[in-house]
C-alpha cells in the first residue's frame, strides 16, 4: 500500500515528539484517524468537545514541550478556537490540524465549510494550508517548527481529499528542526546589568513563568544581592516555598500586601520572565529592568529603563560569576516580616471552617494543599477558585499549578486536567473547578469515565459566578444574574462511574478530602462553599470601597437584607486589614 499524506503526517508528528492527539473524528478528518489507527504508536484521546481537545493539548505541551489537537471542518474548527486562544497566549507549542472540505468545494459555501486562514489567524502564530499532496510536506514541516520555535499555536489546514491522496516526496518536508540556542543579552548589555546590580541597593525580582527552568539561578542571584523575590500567579508555583529565605509573596489582584509593597518600595525592580498585565500594581518613578525571551514584550506594561532580550536561565548563568555579594539584608528582612504577617493573616482566615452548606473555601484549599502530593499537577478554574489556589497552594517538590491565567476563560480546569492525566502516569492530577466552569463543559466528565483517569476534581460550589459578583459589587452594581441553581454534581459523577462525594458539613471536610486522595480512581467532591467569602486585593482604592458600599445600599433598597448582612459579616475583617 502506497504511503498517503496522512501517513506522512503521522511520521512527522512522531518525529516532533507527539505521543497523543486530542480530537473528535469525522468526515474530512477520517483519513488522519485511519492513519493513526494503522500506525498504532500515537494515542487518540477521544474528547467530547473540541475546546477540550485544545485545552488538553495545551496542557500536554506545558508539561512535555509539545501537544497536538485536531478538529474537522466547520463546527470542529470553531470549537477549537477558545482553547487555542488560551494555548497561544500561554506560549504553549500546540500543533492544530484543521481538516477541511475537499479542495474542489472551496469557496462554494459547501456544507460545514470554513476558512482556516481567517478563522485561526488571531489565535495562532501562523496558519498554513496544504492544498496539494506535493505541498503537504513543506507545510507540515513549517507548522511543527513554528509551534516549537515561536512557542505558540500553529495551525495546518488539511483538505480531506489531500489527506487521503498519495504522498508526493519533496526535498524540504521530510523532517522538522527544534533548535535550542543559547540566548542572552550582548556582552555590552551584560556589562551594563552587572554594573547595575553591583551598584544599586534595594533590588527586587518580580518573577513570572519565564523563570520556570531557572529557579536555582534566580535564588542564587537573590542570595548574592539579599533581594526579595516576588512572583506572578504563573510564577508562584516555582518560588512560593514555605522555607524560602527570599520569597515575599505574589503581586497583583490575587496577591498579598508584602508582594505589592516589595515591588513599590524597591529602588530597582527587575521583571524576570513576566508579562504581568496589571500596570496599576507596578511602581512609578522607580528604576525598572526587564529581561524576557520575547523582545516585543519589553516595556509594554511599565516604564522600563533597561530592557534585555534573553532566556532567563541563560542570562543569569552568564551573569552570576560577576555579581558581588552584599551584606545588607535589612530590606529583605523588612519584606519578609510583612510577608510572614500576611501568611499568618491568611492562615487565620483558613482556620475558620464555616457553617453547614457554607463551608469556608479557604479552609478547603488548605486541606487540598495539605493532602496532595509533592509532585501534584493542579489545574484551576478562572474565578474565585483561582483566588484560593493563589493564596493557599504552596510550592513543594515538583508541584505544578496552571490555569487560564492570560486568556482568563472559564471551564479550563477539567480539560486541562484531562491533558495532564493523559500525558503523565506518575503524577497526581487535581482539578480545582468552579461550579460555573464545570457546568460549561460538564460533558467532559465522560472522558474521565472512558479512560478512568484518576483525576481528583474538587468543585467549589458557591452557587454563583463569584468573581463576577465581586467585580459588580466593587463597581457599584447590584450583582444581578450571577446566582445559579446547580445540579448535584456528585450524583452526575456517580452515574458516570466516577466516585462522587457531597460535602456540606465543614466538620467532615478533612475526612472527605483525605478520602478523595486515598481513592485510587477518579473522584469528584461537590463542596458547598460560602458565596459571601471575600478575596481582598493587596491594595484597595477609595473608588473600590465606594463602589462596594454603593452596591450594598442598592441591595438594601431592594430588600436584600440577609445578603447585605452576610457580605458585611464575611468581609469586614478583611477590609480592615488592607486599609
**CATH classification of the domain holding 359:** 3.40.50.970
Q: Which residue, among 433, 430, 445, 453, has the nearest Cα to 384 in the 3D structure?
A: 433
pLDDT of res. 171:
80
179 within domain boundaries: no
Crossing angle of helices 330-351/384-392, nearest 10°? Answer: 120
Distance, in Å, from the CA atom of 247 to the CA atom of 79, rounded to the nearest integer, reads 40
pLDDT of res. 253:
86
Q: Are residues 140 and 195 in the same domain?
A: no
pLDDT of res. 537:
60
pLDDT of res. 536:
62
Domain boundary among 338, 369, 403: 338
Q: In DSSP terms, which residues pair with 349 in a beta bridge?
A: none
Domain boundary among 338, 364, 395: 338
What is the helix (H) or strand (E) element at residue 268, kind and residue range? Answer: strand 268-272
Q: Are residues 485 and 535 in the same domain?
A: yes
177 within domain boundaries: no
- DSSP symbol at 122: G
Crossing angle of helices 466-474/384-392, nearest 10°? Answer: 100
182 within domain boundaries: no
Q: How far is CA 415 from the centre of its chain?
A: 12
Q: Are residues 556 and 415 in the same domain?
A: yes
172 within domain boundaries: no
176 within domain boundaries: no
Which own/partner contact pairs does 334-339 have at CB distance under 8 Å and 24+ positions apart?
335/204, 335/228, 335/248, 335/258, 335/261, 335/262, 335/265, 336/228, 336/245, 336/248, 336/258, 338/248, 338/257, 338/258, 338/261, 338/262, 339/247, 339/248, 339/249, 339/256, 339/258, 339/259
Q: Are residues 208 and 299 in the same domain?
A: yes
pLDDT of res. 176:
80
Cβ contact 136:103 at 8 Å: no
The β-bridge relationship of strands 358-359 and 20-23 is unpaired
Q: Are residues 215 and 358 in the same domain?
A: no
Number of domains in the chain: 3
Q: Are residues 202 and 74 in the same domain?
A: no
pLDDT of res. 548:
43
The β-bridge relationship of strands 358-359 and 354-355 is antiparallel
Distance, in Å, from the CA atom of 87 to the CA atom of 416, rounded to the nearest integer, reads 11
Residue with grid cell 466593587, as numbered in its chain:
474
Max CA pair span of the chain: 77
pLDDT of res. 572:
46
Q: Are residues 255 and 203 in the same domain?
A: yes
Cβ contact 291:299 at 8 Å: no
Domain boundary among 128, 163, 198: 163
Cβ contact 274:208 at 8 Å: yes
**Please, is 111 exposed, middle or buried when counting C-beta atoms within 10 Å of its C-beta (0-12, 13-18, 19+)?**
exposed
pLDDT of res. 467:
86
- DSSP symbol at 28: G
pLDDT of res. 578:
44
Residue 215 C-alpha cell reads as 529557579
Q: Are residues 333 and 358 in the same domain?
A: no
Distance, in Å, from the CA atom of 356 to the CA atom of 528, rounded to the nearest integer, reads 8
Distance, in Å, from the CA atom of 355 to the CA atom of 352, rounded to the nearest integer, reads 9
174 within domain boundaries: no
Q: pLDDT tens digits, the chain, 579 residues: what are they?
A: 689 999 999 999 999 999 999 999 999 999 999 999 999 999 999 999 999 999 999 999 999 999 999 999 999 999 999 999 999 999 999 999 999 998 988 888 888 889 999 999 999 999 999 999 999 999 999 999 999 999 999 999 999 999 999 999 888 777 788 888 999 999 999 999 999 999 999 999 999 999 999 999 999 999 999 999 999 999 999 999 888 999 999 999 889 899 999 999 999 999 999 999 999 999 999 999 999 999 999 999 999 999 999 999 999 999 999 999 999 999 999 999 999 999 998 899 899 999 999 999 999 999 999 999 999 999 999 999 999 999 999 999 999 999 999 999 999 999 999 999 999 989 999 999 999 999 999 999 999 999 999 999 999 999 998 888 888 887 888 888 999 999 999 999 999 999 999 999 999 999 999 999 999 999 999 999 999 887 666 555 545 444 444 444 444 455 554 554 455 555 544 544 444
380 within domain boundaries: yes
Domain that includes residue 284, residue range: 187-338
Q: Are residues 329 and 357 in the same domain?
A: no
Q: Which residue, among 122, 137, 124, 135, has the nearest Cα to 94 in the 3D structure?
A: 124
Q: Are residues 332 and 358 in the same domain?
A: no
Q: Are residues 158 and 119 in the same domain?
A: yes
525 within domain boundaries: yes
Distance, in Å, from the CA atom of 116 to the CA atom of 364, rounded to the nearest integer, reads 44
The CATH number given to whatever domain includes residue 276 is 3.40.50.1220
Q: Are residues 236 and 362 in the same domain?
A: no
pLDDT of res. 533:
87
Radius of gyration in angstroms for the set of CA atoms belonging to the chain, rounded to a whole number: 25
Amino acid at each position: 500500500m502506497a504511503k498517503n499524506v496522512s501517513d506522512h503526517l503521522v511520521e512527522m508528528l512522531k518525529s516532533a515528539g507527539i505521543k497523543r492527539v486530542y480530537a473528535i473524528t469525522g468526515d474530512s478528518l477520517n483519513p488522519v484517524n485511519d492513519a493513526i489507527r494503522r500506525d498504532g504508536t500515537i494515542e487518540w484521546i477521544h474528547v467530547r468537545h473540541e475546546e477540550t481537545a485544545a485545552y488538553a493539548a495545551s496542557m500536554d505541551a506545558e508539561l512535555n514541550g509539545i501537544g497536538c489537537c485536531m478538529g474537522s471542518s466547520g463546527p470542529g474548527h470553531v470549537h477549537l478556537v477558545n482553547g487555542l486562544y488560551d494555548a497561544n497566549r500561554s506560549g504553549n507549542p500546540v500543533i492544530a490540524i484543521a481538516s477541511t472540505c475537499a479542495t474542489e468545494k472551496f469557496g462554494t459555501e459547501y456544507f460545514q465549510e470554513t476558512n482556516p486562514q481567517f478563522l485561526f489567524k488571531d489565535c495562532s502564530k501562523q496558519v498554513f494550508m496544504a492544498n496539494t499532496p506535493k505541498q503537504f510536506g513543506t507545510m507540515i514541516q513549517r507548522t511543527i517548527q513554528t509551534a516549537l520555535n515561536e512557542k505558540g499555536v500553529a495551525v495546518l489546514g488539511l483538505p480531506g481529499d489531500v489527506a487521503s491522496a498519495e504522498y508526493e516526496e519533496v526535498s524540504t518536508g521530510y523532517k522538522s528542526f527544534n533548535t535550542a540556542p543559547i540566548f542572552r543579552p550582548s556582552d555590552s548589555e551584560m556589562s551594563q546589568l552587572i554594573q547595575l546590580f553591583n551598584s544599586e541597593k534595594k533590588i527586587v525580582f518580580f518573577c513570572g513563568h519565564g523563570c520556570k527552568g531557572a529557579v536555582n539561578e534566580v535564588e542564587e542571584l537573590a542570595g548574592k544581592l539579599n533581594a526579595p523575590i516576588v512572583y506572578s500567579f504563573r510564577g508562584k508555583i516555582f518560588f512560593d516555598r514555605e522555607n524560602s529565605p527570599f520569597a515575599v509573596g505574589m503581586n497583583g489582584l490575587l496577591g498579598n500586601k508584602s508582594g505589592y509593597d516589595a515591588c513599590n518600595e524597591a529602588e530597582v525592580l527587575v521583571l524576570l520572565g513576566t508579562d504581568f498585565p496589571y500596570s496599576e500594581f507596578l511602581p512609578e518613578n522607580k528604576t525598572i529592568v526587564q529581561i524576557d525571551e520575547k523582545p516585543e514584550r519589553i516595556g509594554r506594561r511599565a516604564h522600563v529603563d533597561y530592557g534585555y532580550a534573553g532566556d532567563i536561565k541563560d542570562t543569569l548563568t552568564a551573569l552570576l560569576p560577576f555579581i558581588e555579594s552584599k551584606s545588607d539584608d535589612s530590606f529583605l528582612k523588612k519584606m519578609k516580616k510583612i510577608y510572614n504577617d500576611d501568611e499568618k493573616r491568611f492562615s487565620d482566615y483558613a482556620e475558620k471552617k464555616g457553617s453547614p452548606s457554607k463551608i469556608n473555601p479557604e479552609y478547603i484549599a488548605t486541606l487540598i494543599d495539605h493532602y496532595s502530593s509533592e509532585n501534584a499537577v493542579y489545574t484551576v478554574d478562572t474565578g474565585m477558585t483561582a483566588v484560593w489556589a493563589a493564596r493557599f497552594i504552596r510550592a513543594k517538590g515538583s508541584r505544578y499549578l496552571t490555569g487560564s491565567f492570560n486568556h482568563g476563560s472559564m471551564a479550563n480546569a477539567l480539560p486541562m486536567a484531562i491533558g495532564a492525566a493523559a500525558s503523565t502516569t506518575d503524577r497526581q492530577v487535581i482539578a480545582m473547578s468552579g461550579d460555573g466552569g464545570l457546568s460549561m463543559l460538564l460533558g467532559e466528565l465522560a472522558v474521565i469515565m472512558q479512560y478512568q483517569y484518576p483525576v481528583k476534581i474538587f468543585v467549589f460550589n458557591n452557587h454563583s459566578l463569584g468573581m463576577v459578583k465581586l467585580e459588580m459589587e466593587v463597581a457599584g452594581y447590584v450583582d444581578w444574574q450571577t446566582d445559579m441553581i446547580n445540579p448535584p454534581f456528585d450524583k452526575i459523577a456517580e452515574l458516570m462511574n466516577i466516585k462522587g462525594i457531597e460535602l456540606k458539613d465543614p466538620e467532615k471536610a478533612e475526612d472527605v478530602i483525605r478520602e478523595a486522595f486515598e481513592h485510587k480512581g477518579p473522584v469528584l467532591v461537590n463542596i458547598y462553599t460560602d458565596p459571601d467569602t471575600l478575596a481582598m486585593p493587596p491594595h484597595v482604592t477609595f473608588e473600590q470601597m465606594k463602589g462596594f458600599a454603593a452596591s450594598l445600599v442598592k441591595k438594601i433598597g431592594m430588600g436584600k437584607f440577609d445578603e447585605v448582612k452576610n457580605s458585611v459579616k464575611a468581609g469586614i475583617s478583611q477590609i480592615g486589614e488592607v486599609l
